[in-house]
């Protein structure tokens, strides 16, 4: 199976693209701060999921990369809160995107707690 078929990758990628489209409307003076940060963290969630899946032969590496992905997902949530407080996004959009980060985080945590379901070999 390709990592692109993982539900968590699909959800994270969709969120990242939503953020990209939304952040196009952020003020130009945020280009190298909030806009850049939120795009990077949301994309990193996807990249770390892909890396984790490719490292699934080694359960500790798999979990480590998923931990990185989970951290980037949380960072994305922080940047969304800044976007809300700076009034770059509506509360409705904030709640929609935050719900997606929560859903993605739950799936990532499921993967970390059940690595054997994703091709990891658990040695006794």
Domain count of the chain?
1
The residue segments making up the domain with residue 56 are 3-118
- The burial of 84, by beta-carbon neighbours within 10 Å (0-12 exposed, 13-18 middle, 19 or more buried), is given as middle
Is residue 106 a part of any domain in this protein?
yes
Is residue 48 a part of any domain in this protein?
yes
Is residue 124 a part of any domain in this protein?
no
Is residue 123 a part of any domain in this protein?
no
The answer to pTM > 0.75 is yes
| 28, pLDDT greater than 80 | yes
Is residue 38 a part of any domain in this protein?
yes
Q: Write out pLDDT tens, residues 45-95.
A: 999 999 999 999 999 999 999 999 999 999 999 999 999 999 999 999 999
In this structure, what CATH number is given to the domain that contains residue 48?
Answer: 1.20.1440.60
| 100, pLDDT greater than 90 | yes
Burial state string for 92-113 with b = 16 or more CB within 10 A and e = fewer than 16:
eebeebeebbebbbebbeebbe
């Amino acid at each position: 199976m390709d990592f692109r078929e993982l539900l968590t990758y699909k959800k994270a990628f969709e969120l990242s693209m939503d953020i990209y489209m939304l952040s196009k409307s952020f003020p130009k003076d945020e280009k190298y701060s909030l806009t850049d940060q939120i795009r990077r963290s949301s994309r990193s969630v996807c990249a770390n999921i892909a890396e984790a899946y490719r490292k699934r032969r080694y359960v500790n590496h798999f979990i480590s990369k998923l931990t990185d992905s989970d951290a980037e997902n949380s960072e994305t949530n922080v940047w969304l809160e800044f976007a809300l407080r700076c009034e770059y996004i509506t509360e409705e959009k904030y709640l929609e995107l935050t719900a997606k980060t929560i859903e993605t985080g739950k799936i990532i945590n499921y993967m970390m707690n059940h690595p054997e379901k994703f091709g990891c070999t658990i040695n006794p």
